Amino acid sequence: MDATLRFLRRNGAVLVLLVILAAVSTAAPGILRWRAINSLLQDNAPMLILIVGATLPILLGCLDLSIAAMASLAAVSAALLSPVLGSASVPVVVGGAAALGGLQGWLIGRLQVPSFVISLGALGIFKGVAMYLTGANMVGITPGIWIYDLLGSRSFGMSNSFLLVLIVAGLFAAMLKFTNLGRNIYAFGANEIAVYISGVRRDMVRSFAFATSAGCAALGGIMMISQTMFASATVAGSLLLPALVGVVVGGTAISGGVGGVLSSLIGGLIAILIRVGVTISGLPPESQDVAFGITILIAVALTTDRAKIGVVK
């Protein structure tokens, strides 16, 4: 009995994925075709990379609410920079985003303000700056730039954007498992004070986590424009909720210390299937957000460690 429960808890996300997949594919068998899967993964690669990046702050017990706004800002910036910098616009934008994310992480410790407030402020700033840069218009990307063409195309029959998601997720998973930094991230999420008193540089750990989530968000924005060739100040705005749903449904606890990048990837696949499920069930697209809202409530209620946070507010 105990063993069954443990098995369920450990593999819950995979089981949920399989159940939803079974339900969705019964309703629409076409979804199991390679082409359909491929195009789903390609369309959703930006969301998946956001989910991968958002995992690290959540492992610390923090929350980065600025990722979707950052993705939009990065898309806009990349489009505007592409005529001048060409392929170099991608590393410049991702690097700049990582620096802004790192600054957010550092500010949390410096100002002693909760991460959701800092990143909510950043959300507003990024959104406003993106609006200002575009004048609320669509901006097109200069065609024929190698790196955007690469991200928009396929290798071995798979979307290059999705392959990049797998590579980044693999790197993060290895970092979490094999490096001292990874150990510190989990321990930080379990008990920040004890980790601080153990001599871990907590500001550095936090800055790193927020730098990666912002960097991944920027990559997500770039993936979006490499598919659509256009960017606007709100292009990725709707990705915040599904990204957070992906992380917590995968089993990374919002209170920190438990979970991982690969779990989040599973959660991301669940989020994709929720989208598909809403569409094929004939509900209007607006109900996607309702479905995500309900899912995140259930997932957090099931995974939060209330003993650790003491008071719920």
Partner 1 sequence: MTAFSLEGISKRFGEVTALDNVSLSLNEGEVLGLIGQNGSGKSTIMKVMAGLHRPDSGVVKVGGRAVQLRSPAEAALAGIGLVHQEQSLIQALSVAENLFLDKPAGSTWAGVYRWNSLRDRAKAQLDKVELDIDPFTPVSALSFGQRQMVELAKVLSLEELVHGHLVILFDEPTAVLNPPEIQALFGQIRRIKHRSSVVFVSHRMDEILDISDRVYVMSDGRNVATRDRDAVNPDELYELMVGRQRVNRKDRKPREAHIGAEPALTLNHVTVPGEIEDISLKLAPGEILGLIGVQGSGAETILRTVFGMADDWQGKIEYFGAPLDIDTPAQAVAKGIGYLPAERKTEGMIRNTSVSENVAITYGWQHGRGAGLISRAKERGMIEGWVRKLAIKTPSIAHRIDNLSGGNQQKVVLSKWLFGKTLKVLMLDHPTRGLDPGARSDLFAVIRELADQGLAILLVGDTLDEVLTLSDSIIVMKDGRVSARIEGVQAAPPSEEDLVKAMV
Residue 201, both tokens: 């540089």
Q: What are 15-20's contacts with CB under 8 Å, separation 24+?
A: 16/249, 16/270, 17/266, 17/269, 17/270, 17/273, 20/270, 20/273, 20/274, 20/277
Contact flag: residue 7 with partner 1 (CB under 8 A): no
Interaction with partner 1 in 173-202: which residues (CB under 8 A)?
178-181, 183-184, 186-187, 190-191, 193-202
Residue 3 binding partner 1, by CB under 8 A: no
Minimum distance, C-beta of residue 194 to partner 1, in the bound complex (Å): 5
CB of residue 120 vs partner 1: minimum separation in angstroms?
Answer: 23
Is 312 a residue that touches partner 1 (CB under 8 A)?
A: no
Does 172 sit near partner 1 (CB under 8 A)?
A: no
Tokens coding 276: 């598909």
Neighbouring CB atoms inside 10 A of 235's CB total 26
Residues within window 257-276 making contact with partner 1, judged by CB under 8 A: 257-258
Q: Considering only 26-34, 110-118, 172-180, 294-302, which stretch makes contact with partner 1 by CB under 8 A?
A: 172-180
Structure tokens of 141? 């990307």
Q: How far is CA 9 from CA 6, 22, 60, 92, 262, in A?
A: 5, 20, 21, 41, 16
Compute the least distance from the CB of residue 203 to partner 1, in Å.
Answer: 8
- Is 197 or 312 the residue whose CB approaches partner 1 more closely? 197
Which helix (H) or strand (E) covers residue 263, if one does? helix 261-280
Residue count (the chain)? 313
Q: Which residues bind partner 1 (CB under 8 A)?
A: 178-181, 183-184, 186-187, 190-191, 193-202, 257-258, 305, 308
